[in-house]
Amino acid sequence: RAGGSNSFCTLLAIMSDECPSPAEAPSYRYFVGESSFSIYEEMVRLLRERGGEWEAATKPEAITTCALILGDRFNIPYDRLRGSTRVFGPEGRKPLVNYFKGSHRLTLKAAMARLLREAVPHVDDFMPRSFILGRQATPSLARSSSRFSKFRGSNASTPASSPVAAPADERQELLCAHARKPSAWIVKPSAGCKGVGIRVCATAEEAITAVDEAVAAEKSADSAALFAVQEYIANPLLLPGGRKFDIRVWALVAAPFDIYVWDQGSCRTASVAYDANDLSNPLAHLTNHGLQQSSASFGEHEEGNELWYSALDAELRRRFGDGT
C-alpha cells in the first residue's frame, strides 16, 4: 500500500534511532518464518534495499542473533527469545518481534469477539451481535511453519505453541437471537483473510448451514474451524454510486504497550452498488481487494478501489456539512 515504505522506515528507526545510509549503518540480521502474508514480502524487499545494513538469517537456529523476527503468531519461539540477553544497536535495544505472545485474542475474529464481550461493558452499543460457531482445535493441533518447527526440534525446552482455546459452539444462542430480532448474518472464518470463505446469509439457519459445510470441508479433523457470525448491518453508510466501504487503520504496538496510530489510513471500496435484497453478490457486500479485483468495474470509481482519509473527509463534509 502507498505509504507502507515510510511506515516501515519508522519501524526500522526504532532500532537504529534514525535511517542511516547502508554505508554508515551497523549490520543487523532478520529472520522470516514461512507465512502467506504479503506484508512480509514487502518488508523483506525494503530490508534488502537497505543493502549492507540488514542481512537475512537463513537457519532457524540463528534466530537469537536477529534484531528483527517476522513470522506466524503461533510459531514464534517466545520462550527462547525471552531468555536471550542479546541486544542490538548503540542503544542496546532488544529484538523486534512482529507479534506479542497471545495477540491472537485481538487479531483472530472469533477470539476478538469473545474478548470484547467479556471485557468491554456495553459492547453491544458498537459491535453487532456476535456468536462463535464451528469446531475448536484438538490437543494434537500443530500450527507450525516448517522453519520455526525445525528450530523447536533442536531446542527441547521450547514447547510448540498451544492451539487456540475455543468457546463452546453458540448456535443455540444465535437461533434465539434471530428469533427475537430477525436479521441477515455475515459468516467470517476466524483466521481468514482477503474475503475468502465469507458468506452473507438471510437467516440464522442459513448461517449455521454455511458454517457446518465449511467445517465438513476441512481436510484435517484436527484443525480448528472457527467462525464469527455477526448481525449484518443492513443500512451502511454508502459512497457515491451507493457503494459500501470499510475503514483501515494501521497501528504499531510497542512494548510496554505504547500505541502509535498512523494518521493516513485508507478505505477499501466496493465496485458495484450495495443491494440489501440480493445477498448473493460478494462484490456488493464485501470490500476486500482480493475479491474486488475480479470485478470488471475495479478501479472505475477510485484508483485501486481505495480512498484515503482526506478523500473520505471531503465526501462527508460535502454530504453532511463542515460540522461532521
Q: What is the pLDDT of residues 1-55, one digit of tens each?
A: 334 444 445 455 544 444 444 445 457 888 887 766 777 788 888 888 876 778 8
Per domain, the residue ranges of the chain are: 4-97, 105-136+163-231, 245-320
What number of other Cβ atoms are within 10 A of residue 53's Cβ?
20
- Which residue has cell 504499531? 252
User: What DSSP line would sit under 55-101, residue for residue?
Assistant: EE--SGGGGGG-SEEE--TTTS-HHHHHH----BTTTTBPPEESS-T
Q: Give the predicted TM-score (pTM) of the model.
A: 0.75
- Which residue has cell 456488493? 284
pLDDT at 142 > cutoff 50 = no
Q: Give residue 221's pLDDT band: very low, low, confident or very high (50, 70, 90).
A: low
pLDDT at 239 > cutoff 90 = yes
pLDDT at 122 > cutoff 90 = yes
Could you tell me which residues come within 8 angstroms of residue 251 by beta carbon, excluding any fewer than 6 positions away?
259, 260, 261, 262
Q: What is the pLDDT of residue 156?
A: 38
Cis peptide before 128 (omega within 30 of 0): no
Could you give the CA distance from residue 29 to residue 81 in angstroms, rounded to a whole number?
Answer: 15
Least confident range of 52-61, 189-198, 214-223: 214-223
What number of other Cβ atoms are within 10 A of residue 187's Cβ?
23
pLDDT per residue over 259-271, tens digit each? 999 988 899 999 9
323 or 322: which carries more pLDDT confidence? 322
Helix axes 4-16, 38-49, angle to 10 degrees: 60
pLDDT at 90 > cutoff 50 = yes
Cell numbers linked to 321: 456539512
Q: What are the CA-CA distances from residue 237 to residues 256, 318, 319 (Å)? A: 37, 14, 11
> What percentage of the chain has pLDDT greater than the value 70?
78
Q: What is the pLDDT of residue 154?
A: 43
85 or 124: which carries more pLDDT confidence? 124
- Which residue has cell 542503544? 91
- Which residue has cell 470499510? 246
Arithmetic mean of pLDDT, 170-189: 96
Q: What is the pLDDT of residue 79?
A: 79
Using DSSP bridges, classify how beta strands 258-261 and 251-254 pair: parallel, antiparallel or unpaired. antiparallel
Could you tell me which residues come within 8 angstroms of residue 77 by beta carbon, excluding any fewer than 6 positions away?
63, 148, 151, 152, 155, 158
Q: Give residue 236's pLDDT band: very low, low, confident or very high (50, 70, 90).
A: very high
Q: What is the pLDDT of residue 123?
A: 94
Q: What is the pLDDT of residue 28?
A: 85
SS3 state of residue 31:
strand
Q: Give residue 224's pLDDT band: very low, low, confident or very high (50, 70, 90).
A: low
Nearest to 190 by CA among 119, 130, 246: 130
Q: Mean of the per-residue pLDDT values for the chain? A: 80
**At the topology level of CATH, where does 105-136+163-231 sit?**
Dna Ligase; domain 1 (3.30.1490)
